[in-house]
Chain A
Amino acid sequence: MIKTQALVRSFDGVKALGGIDLHIEKRKVTVIMGGSGSGKTTLLRLLAGLEAPTSGSILFAGEDLASVSKKRLYELRMRVGMVFQYSALLNSLDVYENVAFPLHEHTDLDESVIQTMVTMKLEQVGLRGFECMMPSQLSGGMAKRVAFARALVMDPQVVFFDEPTSGLDPISAGVVSTLIHETTAKTRMTSVVVTHDVEAGLKIADHVILLWQGQVIAEGSPESIQQSEDPRVQQFIKGEPNGPIPFSRSQTAYIDDLMHKPGCVRMA
């Protein structure tokens, strides 16, 4: 469904992603995991076409996102949905209008049909009856589920999820994870999930990609990842503070910073 070849993304000369080759399979849940600053969100934004790569290519259904026209990119996006980390609901619209937004924009469907479709999607995420609420009145979990309903309303082939469970209580996180898993299985869509929630990620994934410092360090089924002998993988999935992935990222000597005013370091 989606392939990347030698994908590089740099910011002011600093590489956030350094030559990624990926293959995201159709109708599967692919979970991209990694620590903070490992390049997960950058990778997701590239896959979604929200950013252009510095070099390399992203093939979406055979078309290179970096070279398609804006018009074609919008046509491809009709087949894609995205759930953002902070939901990104349009805060001037209520829940119904948010979910109906893509339908109002891109279809000539009768309002009664749109209403039926919105009701079905809200029922799917367990929020039927909340149509008139404004985004500011929703909890984090509810907002994520509304964003999920909005992403599903056009029956997309691919849905991208950016940290879908972050900031949620365990029950809401479980609900969102189950929704991703079940919806992917039932609708046969492709899900790409970026998360650092190891437990949830391994639970819903068909395929796991583990990033560290802008590179893929492990890839495979959840079982193969759990059984990996790479100490970096084991440290990450077990959440151990000590190991090859350092806790401290300081690039200057500690004694120098104690004796003098610490200098600022640009994050890689």
Chain B
Amino acid sequence: MEGIMNMVGQVGRNVIQSVAKLGDATLFALATLRLLFAKPWQGKHFVMQMYAVGVGSLIIVVITGAFTGMVLALQGYHMLVKVGTEALLGPWVALSLIRELGPVLAALMFVGRAGSSITAEIGIMRVTEQMDALEMMAVNPQARVMLTRIIACAISLPLLVAIFDVVGLFAGYLIGVEMLGVNGGVYIGETIDKVGMIDIQAGITKSIYFGLLVGIICTYMGQRATATTEGVAKATTRAVMLCSVMVLVVDYIITSFYL
């Protein structure tokens, strides 16, 4: 009986702790995003961070996009050809990429490449007192370090998703038309016919939310990391895990609104 009570107590404590952390993270996000309208304007630093997180993730996103498009075309062709609808290969690849795989896979790649580095960088800045140094030089680290990274993520990820989609579509075309012999005109015509603005809107909406989410989680985890090397390592791992799970959860929620 005592063992069960202990277990229940532990579960209760964990739930309370998780709710407290969620509240803390929400307050952190609100306090940080509020600084978007505060002076001084961090324009130059947004651009620098966009270069760091966006351009830095470009290669991995292009490679992932290309292979995803190729696999979709290959897999889709062999399925569609069985029922004689290989003419729909273009929309199959395009809709899969634009609505689902583009935003989700690009976001997961982005988490691994940019999100982890954001958490680690902020954690190390805390350990080495660089955050305090900024404070002492009358520079608000929440605006300079946190906000610039969150906004850079929210702007960079939709752009990366767009690149992912374009590369994936092109790679799918190459496999479908050039390798498997689907008619090129039909491939493009059906794609234009079947893909609507609502599909593109769904993909963009998801990528904006994913970008914001990754930015907020990764900066929060870095900011709250225990000021030790082990603490920074743990925070980085947790940030990547949490972001990956949250991307999938939020993807489901947004998809359910668009269907």
A150: which B residues are within 8 A, CB to CB? 137
Is B253 part of the contact surface with A, judged by Cβ < 8 Å? no
Q: Are A74 and B129 in contact (CB under 8 A)?
A: no
Is B138 part of the contact surface with A, judged by Cβ < 8 Å? yes
A74→B135 CA distance, assembly (Å): 8
A43→B25 CA distance, assembly (Å): 29
Is B130 part of the contact surface with A, judged by Cβ < 8 Å? yes
Q: Which of A77, A78, A81, A88 contacts B129 (CB 8 A)?
A: A88
Q: Are A84 and B133 in contact (CB under 8 A)?
A: yes
Q: Are B138 and A77 in contact (CB under 8 A)?
A: yes
A29: which B residues are within 8 A, CB to CB? none
Is B100 part of the contact surface with A, judged by Cβ < 8 Å? no
Q: Are A81 and B133 in contact (CB under 8 A)?
A: no
Is B190 part of the contact surface with A, judged by Cβ < 8 Å? no
Is B26 part of the contact surface with A, judged by Cβ < 8 Å? no
Give the interface size class of chain A. Answer: 20 to 34
Is B132 part of the contact surface with A, judged by Cβ < 8 Å? yes
A106: which B residues are within 8 A, CB to CB? 138
Shortest beta-carbon distance from B117 to chain A in Å? 12
Give the interface size class of chain B. Answer: 10 to 19
Main secondary structure on A side of the interface with B: mixed
- Chain A 46-90, CB-CB to B under 8 Å as 1, else 0, gives 001010000000000000000000100011011011101110111
Is B128 part of the contact surface with A, judged by Cβ < 8 Å? yes
A88→B136 CA distance, assembly (Å): 11
A48→B132 CA distance, assembly (Å): 10
Is B140 part of the contact surface with A, judged by Cβ < 8 Å? yes
Is A19 part of the contact surface with B, judged by Cβ < 8 Å? no
Q: Are B139 and A80 in contact (CB under 8 A)?
A: no
A74: which B residues are within 8 A, CB to CB? 138, 140
| Contacts between the two chains (Cβ within 8 Å), count | 45
Shortest beta-carbon distance from A143 to chain B in Å? 11
Shortest beta-carbon distance from B134 to chain A in Å? 8
A84→B133 CA distance, assembly (Å): 8
Is A91 part of the contact surface with B, judged by Cβ < 8 Å? yes
Is A101 part of the contact surface with B, judged by Cβ < 8 Å? yes
Q: Which of A88, A101, A105 contacts B128 (CB 8 A)?
A: A88
- Chain A 232-253, CB-CB to B under 8 Å as 1, else 0, gives 0000000000000000000000
Shortest beta-carbon distance from A153 to chain B in Å? 10
A140: which B residues are within 8 A, CB to CB? none
A116→B129 CA distance, assembly (Å): 28
Is A35 part of the contact surface with B, judged by Cβ < 8 Å? no
Report the nearest A residue to B137, measured CB to CB: A102
Q: Are A91 and B130 in contact (CB under 8 A)?
A: yes
Q: Are B128 and A82 in contact (CB under 8 A)?
A: no
Report the nearest A residue to B129, measured CB to CB: A88
- Chain B 117-130, CB-CB to A under 8 Å as 1, else 0, gives 00000000000111
Q: Are B138 and A84 in contact (CB under 8 A)?
A: no
Q: Are B136 and A78 in contact (CB under 8 A)?
A: no
A90: which B residues are within 8 A, CB to CB? 130, 133-134
B138: which A residues are within 8 A, CB to CB? 74-75, 77-78, 102, 105-106
Q: Are B139 and A105 in contact (CB under 8 A)?
A: yes
Q: Which of A45, A85, A91, A105 contacts B137 (CB 8 A)?
A: A105
A77: which B residues are within 8 A, CB to CB? 135-138
Q: Are B128 and A81 in contact (CB under 8 A)?
A: no
Most buried by A among B132, B136, B139, B140: B136
Task: Kindly identify, within residues 5 to 37 of chain A, every residue whose CB is under 8 Å from any CB belonging to chain B.
Answer: none
A177→B185 CA distance, assembly (Å): 79
Shortest beta-carbon distance from B151 to chain A in Å? 18
Q: Are A85 and B128 in contact (CB under 8 A)?
A: no
Mark A residues whose CB is within 8 Å of B: 45, 48, 50, 70, 74-75, 77-78, 80-82, 84-86, 88-91, 101-102, 105-106, 150
27 contacts between A and B (CB under 8 A): A45-B132, A48-B136, A50-B135, A50-B136, A70-B140, A74-B138, A74-B140, A75-B138, A77-B138, A80-B136, A81-B136, A82-B133, A82-B136, A84-B132, A85-B129, A86-B128, A86-B129, A88-B129, A88-B130, A88-B132, A88-B133, A89-B130, A90-B133, A90-B134, A101-B137, A102-B137, A105-B139
Mark B residues whose CB is within 8 Å of A: 128-130, 132-140
Q: Which A-B residue pairs are the 7 nearest by beta carbons?
A: A88-B133, A88-B129, A74-B138, A77-B138, A82-B136, A84-B129, A102-B137
Since A82-B136, A90-B130, A105-B138 are in contact, a sample of 18 more A-B pairs with Cβ atoms closer than 8 Å, ordered by chain A residue number, is A50-B132, A74-B138, A74-B140, A75-B138, A77-B135, A77-B136, A77-B138, A85-B129, A86-B128, A88-B129, A88-B132, A91-B128, A91-B130, A101-B137, A102-B138, A105-B139, A106-B138, A150-B137
